[in-house]
Structure 1
Amino acid sequence: MKIVHVVTYVSEDGAFGGPIAVAIAQLEELSRQGHEVELLAGWDGKAKLSPAGVNVRLFKVRRLRRGGFSGLFAPGLARAARAHAKAGAAIHVHLARDLVTMPAALAVASYVKPVIQTHGMVMPDQRLLARMLDHIFTKAILRHARRVLTLTPSESQGVKDVANDSIAVETIANGLRAKDVSTRARRTNEILFLARLHPRKRVLAFGEMCKILVQSDVPVRCVVVGPDEGDLPRLRAFISENSLDQHLFYEGVLPTGDAIGRLSEAAVYVLPSTGEVFPMTVLEALAAGTPVVTTSSSGIAPHLVALEAAEVNDGTPEDLASAVLRLLDDEPRRAQLVVNGRVGLATKFSIEAVVRRLESLYGER
């Protein structure tokens, strides 16, 4: 079967990381199962992307307005998606409110009913631009979809509210394979934050956690990796004001596709974010065999607790520091979290199970 996925943006700084990581994981597994697969995406003109078994076509984006992804458009991408649909390919659009994925979803509508996956990005929003996009694009796309894939029941309700109609919605987990990262050198005292520096990700809580550990004479090296979305000046000011320049470092951005490798070098991964639907970096840390500390404020948290695959708490700097210290001091606990995480990847977050469901959806007529 020919299967084509459409995603908004591939960039050198990995700013649109979650949906890209999901699409690549799905496409690589579909390729392993013998399908001919292709990724169409907007592109910054710099990033390099070569997932195993996946044909990648990148289209240089332009901007209608500054800031965010909603103003991006990629000339030629919708036309390419339409050509694939006309030739009988299955189309899977990782939909956001933007001028890359929405025109692509509309362009294929005369030939196929696409599978639409929203990644928590298409929820009720009263801002004027969101309401305009929903009126022009979103409702029609959701109503025409073969199936709308969501991550949680609350997201399912959200897309139904946006569509203002009865639509075919199904909850499906993100999935990954465990990776062999044995050739990577793990830094036994490195605590890693890998995410966008957006207020919701709470990099300053990570900074406060690092300060607590340093003041407790714990020999840690705290590293922040990710593109700035508002909080980098505050982080740098925090480092300076608290004399943490020898303990807390901003390492810059990471190219798309390099997250698992970088995670595998750390002793502990900490994600203090709030309101996450299903953070893909947590699954990537499990795949890398890196113990995770995260908050209860995400759709993945109950699964991690049930699997005993991560340290999950309320996300205060004190709680984060206590969890990190507990992991650094308890090697059997770290090892057990890694084992449980790999069990989770083989069961609850199985990419093979995800792809079996996608195959059945693509085959529906």
Structure 2
Amino acid sequence: MSHDDAGPLKVLMVSHYYPPHLGGIENVAHAEARHLTAAGMQVTVLTSGERSGVTVEDGVRVVRVRAWNGLERKAGVPFPIPGPKLLRRAVHWARWADVVHIHDAFYLTSWAALTAAKLTHTPIVATQHVALVHHDSAAVGLVQKAVYATAGRLLMRGARSVFTMNSDVAAFARGLGARPERVRHLPNGVDTTLFRPIRDAAEQAAERERLGLPQAGVLVLFVGRFVPKKGFDLLLAAADPGYRLVFAGGPAEALSGALSGAAESVLYLGSLAPAEVAAVYRACDVFALPSTSEGFPLTVQEAMSSGIAVLTTDDTGYAAYGLDRDRVSLVNRDTETLRVRLREIAADSELRRQMGKYAREYAVERFAWPDHASLLIEAYRAAIHPKTSSADRG
């Protein structure tokens, strides 16, 4: 397949879910699609949904294939099972596209897109979001390993570029057969205009009042799903009189015991739209996410862009980011360590100011979505014209 450089690039982006479904991969795909469209690309997203259909959203064509989502409802595993139309849709849109961009190798939508790209000889670019993720179910763990050893290996070997967000995932991709010179570090982007610091104390007070949060005291925020991987339970256990914990996300049932037993120290805001989440960052003083096997979660980037102090797990995946460890607190994943460090941060307003200032400056420099989109476009063009690809030359 050849592309006419005089016209806009046609990109088929593939994600197992897409908004309004909530989750990290779909949020990234959504933002990439919008910013690529704003840069003049023609973007079609192939995804799953409650029903099949084609819509245009923010200038992006979204093709949904009806899927069964029972595994997520019953076991908390976000693995939609699309209907038989998936492969036919994938082939149709791969034939239309100049390049196919597949988000993560784990999903049936990805396998269909990989097959379609091979059948239509359309070049592939991949973003691998995670390595193997620990799960309490041994069966889920075995399925992960089997999927990555088969479809994952085929995708990593066949992609012209493989984007990863941290060094652990990069090593994982190389272990599956991705050529080292094709594995590229690409942090997620963040909307640095939406996620911005408070202008002054009066704005923070107003946001707290509007959200029903207390005016006095240091507020420590958690944003995400209430699942063990995210460490919400560790943070709950680290509750302390020196600060109050604020949770945004779900499901609410996971917090019910804490809310009844520690109402004074734990506050729950529910699941919020992005604009409301941005306001919550501004209303709080510290962001805490003791997660595991994530590398660099999008919520950490949002908190940094919002200019508040950030505490998260000391994950080896952060190595590629070169963070100042005095300004972003990377700690061991245990309750007592969390409590001690949060006490220190809560008690030192100047430290919080310095951490927030560093975080904001870092986010503006490294996480702007337009820059992210530009790097994707460069990779797409290199995939279409591999003889001139700097990635292939190393």
Change (3 A) 1:55 1:289: farther
Q: Residues 248 and 270 of structure 2 are in contact (CA less than 8 Å); yes or no, is this contact kept in structure 1? A: yes
How many positions carry a matched residue from both structures? 349
Please name the residue that 1:116 is paired with: 126
How many angstroms apart in 1 are the aligned matches of 2:83 and 2:184? 29
How many angstroms apart in 1 are the aligned matches of 2:150 and 2:131? 17
**Match for residue 42 of structure 1 among 48, 68, 72:** 48
How many angstroms apart in 2 are the aligned matches of 1:257 and 1:73? 31
Please name the residue that 1:190 is paired with: 219
> Is the partner of 2:47 in helix, strand or coil?
strand
How many angstroms apart in 2 are the aligned matches of 1:114 and 1:76? 21
**Match for residue 6 of structure 1 among 14, 28, 32:** 14
How many angstroms apart in 2 are the aligned matches of 1:176 and 1:345? 8
How many angstroms apart in 2 are the aligned matches of 1:139 and 1:283? 29
Please name the residue that 1:33 is paired with: 39
Q: Residues 131 and 172 of structure 2 are in contact (CA less than 8 Å); yes or no, is this contact kept in structure 1? A: no
The equivalences for 1:315-326 within 5 A come to 315-326=333-344
More helix by share: 2
Please name the residue that 2:211 is paired with: none
How many angstroms apart in 2 are the aligned matches of 1:38 and 1:262? 32
Change (3 A) 1:266 1:78: farther
Please name the residue that 1:306 is paired with: 324
Please name the residue that 1:178 is paired with: 192
Name which one, 1 or 2, has greater alpha-carbon Rg.
2
Structure 1 gap segments, 5+ residues each: none
Change (3 A) 1:5 1:295: same
User: Does 2:225 correspond to 1:227?
Assistant: no
Cα distance, 1:259 vs. partner?
A: 4.4
How many angstroms apart in 1 are the aligned matches of 2:66 and 2:347? 48
Please name the residue that 2:68 is paired with: 62
TM-score (norm 2): 0.74
Letter in 1 for 2:124: P
Change (3 A) 1:347 1:256: closer
Q: Residues 191 and 269 of structure 1 are in contact (CA less than 8 Å); yes or no, is this contact kept in structure 2? A: yes
The equivalences for 1:319-338 within 5 A come to 319-338=337-356
Aligned residues with identical type, % of pairs: 23
The equivalences for 1:237-276 within 5 A come to 237-240=257-260, 243-254=261-272, 259-276=277-294
Q: Residues 157 and 177 of structure 2 are in contact (CA less than 8 Å); yes or no, is this contact kept in structure 1? A: yes
Cα distance, 1:282 vs. partner?
A: 0.2
Point out the more displaced range, 131-140 or 163-172.
163-172
How many angstroms apart in 2 are the aligned matches of 1:289 and 1:307? 16
TM-score (norm 1): 0.79
Change (3 A) 1:315 1:142: closer
Point out the more displaced range, 355-364 or 5-14.
5-14
Letter in 2 for 1:267: D
> Is the partner of 2:100 in helix, strand or coil?
strand
Please name the residue that 1:139 is paired with: 153
Change (3 A) 1:259 1:90: farther
Please name the residue that 2:97 is paired with: 88
Q: Residues 279 and 300 of structure 1 are in contact (CA less than 8 Å); yes or no, is this contact kept in structure 2? A: no
> Is the partner of 1:100 in helix, strand or coil?
helix
**Match for residue 107 of structure 1 among 110, 116, 131:** 116
Cα distance, 1:115 vs. partner?
A: 0.6
Cα distance, 1:199 vs. partner?
A: 1.6
Q: RMSD of the alignment, in Å?
A: 3.6
Structure 2 gap segments, 5+ residues each: 1-8, 209-214, 386-394
Deviation digits for residues 143-173 of structure 1, max 9, x if unmatched?
2212222223332232233349889422322
> Is the partner of 1:195 in helix, strand or coil?
strand
Point out the more displaced range, 172-181 or 157-166.
157-166
> Is the partner of 1:173 in helix, strand or coil?
coil
Cα distance, 1:94 vs. partner?
A: 0.5
**Match for residue 229 of structure 2 among 192, 200, 213:** 200
How many angstroms apart in 1 are the aligned matches of 2:278 and 2:82? 29
Cα distance, 1:119 vs. partner?
A: 0.5
**Match for residue 297 of structure 2 among 257, 265, 279:** 279
How many angstroms apart in 2 are the aligned matches of 1:13 and 1:303? 29
Q: Residues 114 and 147 of structure 1 are in contact (CA less than 8 Å); yes or no, is this contact kept in structure 2? A: yes
The equivalences for 1:125-164 within 5 A come to 127-134=141-148, 136-163=150-177
How many angstroms apart in 1 are the aligned matches of 2:117 and 2:60? 21
> Is the partner of 1:110 in helix, strand or coil?
helix
